[in-house]
Amino acid sequence: MKLPRIRSHGRGRTLRDLALTAPAVAVMVGIGLFSLVWAIYFSFWPMEGNLWNPGFSLEHYRALFDSTRTVAIFAKTLAKVLVIAVVTTAMAFPVAWYGGQTLDGRAGALFILVAIAPFWTNYIVRTWAWMLMLGDKGLINEVLTGVGAVAEPISLLYTEFAVIATMVYIYLPYSLFAMYGSVDAIPGSQIEAAYDLGSNRFEVLRYVILPLAMPGIVLSFVFIFGRAIGAYVTPELVGSPRTLWYGNVLVNQFKDSFNWPLGAAYSVVLFAFVLVVLAGLSRWLTLRKVMT
């Protein structure tokens, strides 16, 4: 007689939880869907002189794909995002490994929280901090000139290096969070068994650790890729006109050119591209794989 009541209680609790979260979910999904639908609809509005009118035209998509400059900027942005994703994930993996495997339970979780504590400050503040460090009189140049590594300060700010280094720093906590659960769930017995069977450290890493940690690694890549591909603030602050990203070109259509339908077309193409990439990665990425 107890089992039906337990199940009923479980269903009631689930319905109550759904009822409590439904308003927030509805608002978030509603705003997201409204923005997406409006961007798609607006991207087809034709331009007449400097004004746009409701209608249907593919002129903005043709202009986007016919622009070799825009396509080249998108390709360069994609290449830089891949570099950022790989470097950030590679840097975060040893930290996640130490917190998930070397430390136990609460100590590991506390270690990860301490590791990401500096990232609790504002996004803009962290970007400005890197601007101060990368400047001609910044910390990096002061150290290099102080130890005699260089005779004069190196121009680091407003370069591709500045943008990539800053974004790696900014996205590092997302990578840690993404990989920690997957690394923490790796059974130590499987690693010990691999050593007992004669495997060396490289073989254990390649054939045991990386396959088991791959869901977390892919999740880290997804987080970084999804956020970095449309980045605007960091490239705008620490970059220059010579280091344009696709996000800068997109925003300029709204801010400078005042060609909002073309900017909407840029946004739709970017969204579609990210969606295709995520769909391709979905076969490796499920919540169950990440957490177990």
What is the per-residue pLDDT for 28? 77
Burial string for 8-30 (b: 16+ CB within 10 Å, else e) reads eeeeeeeeeeeeeeeeeeeeeee
End-to-end CA distance of the chain: 34
User: Which structural domain, as residue segments, surrounds residue 138?
Assistant: 63-291
What is the per-residue pLDDT for 8? 46
Taking the C-alpha atoms of residue 115 and residue 118, their distance in angstroms, rounded to an integer, is 7
What crossing angle do the helices spanning 105-115 and 68-97 adopt, rounded to 10°?
Answer: 140
C-alpha 71 chain-centroid distance: 21
> Block means of pLDDT (10 residues each) for the chain, length 292 residues?
45 70 79 85 85 86 92 94 93 89 80 80 86 88 87 88 93 88 86 88 89 88 88 90 88 87 93 87 58 46
What is the per-residue pLDDT for 110? 84
Query: Is 68 part of a structural domain of the chain?
Result: yes
Query: Is 125 part of a structural domain of the chain?
Result: yes
Query: Is 28 part of a structural domain of the chain?
Result: no
Domain count, the chain: 1
- Longest CA–CA span in the chain (Å) reads 84
Q: Identify residue 67 by its one-letter amino acid code.
A: S
**Cα separation values, 250 from 73, 176, 262, 269, 283, Å:** 11, 30, 8, 11, 30
Taking the C-alpha atoms of residue 232 and residue 133, their distance in angstroms, rounded to an integer, is 20
Output the CA angle 56-58-62, nearest 5 degrees. Answer: 165
Exposed, middle or buried by CB within 10 Å (0-12, 13-18, 19+), for 282? exposed
Query: Is 36 part of a structural domain of the chain?
Result: no
DSSP, collapsed to helix, strand or coil, labels residue 46 as coil
Output the CA angle 19-20-25, nearest 5 degrees. Answer: 90
Query: Is 159 part of a structural domain of the chain?
Result: yes
Query: Is 284 part of a structural domain of the chain?
Result: yes
Query: Is 54 part of a structural domain of the chain?
Result: no
Taking the C-alpha atoms of residue 43 and residue 57, their distance in angstroms, rounded to an integer, is 8
What is the per-residue pLDDT for 291? 45
Query: Is 51 part of a structural domain of the chain?
Result: no
Structure tokens at 145: 């000139």
What is the per-residue pLDDT for 24? 80
C-alpha 77 chain-centroid distance: 13
Give the CATH number, domain containing residue 140. Answer: 1.10.3720.10
